[in-house]
Amino acid sequence: MSLTASLDASTVSAAPGAETAVPLQVRNSGTTVEEYRFEVVGACAAWAAVEPAVLSLYPGDSGTVSLMLCPPRDATVPAGETPFGVRVVPTGEQGETVVPEGRVTVLPFTETTAELVPRGSHGARAGRHQLAVDNRGNTPVTVRLGAQSGSERARVVFAAPELHVAPGKAEFARLRVRPVKRMLRGTPVTHPFQVFAATQVAEGQEPVEPILVDGSYEQEPLLPRWLPRALITAAVLVLALVGLWYALLRPAVKSAAREAVTPEAVRSAAAADKSKAPEQGGSGGSGS
């Protein structure tokens, strides 16, 4: 074979967001001038390149190119070991390719964000929120949840004390803000609060600062502010209806009753009573 190629290091570590160079030695053992191009194969091909892209060598000469590894700093490339190869392709028609192989270990990194949804809540008994935790790193994380001390008039309670979030995913933690004392009536009171999301890291890794998120809960009275006015309005309306009855409707009813009792009506009622009396007497005699 007129072509030989080898990597200076078959195993290498690469930090996300940074460039790592791996030298690749190429030797032309043939008898003619040869030009070579390079192709990276494997999962890291999307974030790797060879510089320079083309190398020309005289017979018996050697040259060096650099395999540049630059994994992105996001969740698309998980932390861990990935195999790769560099195909060295002679541009001549009779050339044979060689593929030196290696393994790259993508180092882990942690990047977590948190957001409170909604930022503000209101209610007489409790306020309801969700804390959205987004893992933008390349390794799974466990996030511990809690509330900062500071407000003695309201308590923050999480449904779960921690979240497990996969790379590139978001998880939601439910929480409630409960007032220490309930308020029967009065002006709504705003309780500011602060929650945190602390990412737990493996032993030996640099600790990560907890994420602090501010929120507020507006405590409303159990009796709505409009209720006293509504009760007063209803009482006034009832009194007005009663006054209307005594002032207008009741006299009209009495007048109608008096007009109905006329002399003709009295005589008619008396005649009806007299006609009923003989009938009752006759029926009594036939029975004996």
Is 34 within the bounds of a domain?
A: yes
Burial label, 163 (beta-carbon count in 10 A; 0-12, 13-18, 19+): buried
Domain boundary among 178, 198, 219: 219
Task: Place 286 in a pLDDT band, splitting at 50, 70 and 90.
Answer: very low
Does residue 24 lie within any of the structural domains? yes
Domain final residue pick, 86, 106, 126: 106
One domain for residues 96 and 118: no
CATH of the domain at 98: 2.60.40.10
Contact (Cβ atoms closer than 8 angstroms) between residue 162 and residue 116: no
Domain that holds residue 143: 112-219
The pLDDT of residue 52 is above 60: yes
Entry field: residues in the chain: 288
62 and 128 share one domain: no
**Structure tokens that stand for 241 in this block:** 């209806």
Residues 161, 202 share a domain: yes
Summarize pLDDT for 131-161 with one digit per residue, the tens: 999 999 999 999 999 998 766 788 999 999 9
Q: What is the pLDDT, as a whole number, of residue 288?
A: 35
Q: How far is CA 237 from CA 229, 248, 253, 255, in A?
A: 12, 16, 22, 26
From residue 127, alpha-carbon distances to 102, 116, 119, 219 in Å are 56, 12, 11, 8
- Does residue 66 share a domain with residue 12? yes
Q: What is the pLDDT of residues 11-47, one digit of tens each?
A: 999 999 999 999 999 999 888 899 999 999 999 999 9
Is the separation of the CB atoms in 67 and 61 below 8 Å? no
Instruction: Please report whether residue 282 resides in a domain.
Output: no
Checking if the pLDDT of 201 tops 70, the result is yes
Any idea what DSSP says for residue 16?
T
Q: How many domains does the chain have?
A: 2
Q: What is the mean pLDDT of residues 122-137?
A: 95
Looking at residue 288, the DSSP 8-state letter turns out to be -
Tell me whether residue 284 is in a domain.
no
Q: Assign 281 a pLDDT band (cuts: 50, 70, 90).
A: low
CB neighbours of 172 closer than 8 A, spacing ≥ 6? 117, 130, 131, 132, 133
- Looking at the chain, the number of H-run helices and the number of E-run strands are 3, 18
**In this model, does residue 62 exceed pLDDT 80?**
yes
Q: What is the pLDDT of residue 8?
A: 96
Over residues 233-240, the mean pLDDT reads 83
Q: Is the pLDDT of residue 265 over 80?
A: no
Residue 287 has pLDDT above 50, yes or no: no
Q: Span 54-82, mean pLDDT?
A: 96
Q: Please say which residue of 219, 254, 273 terminates a domain.
A: 219
Same domain as 212, residue 116? yes
The verdict on 87 and 10 lying in the same domain is yes
- 119 and 215 in a single domain? The answer is yes
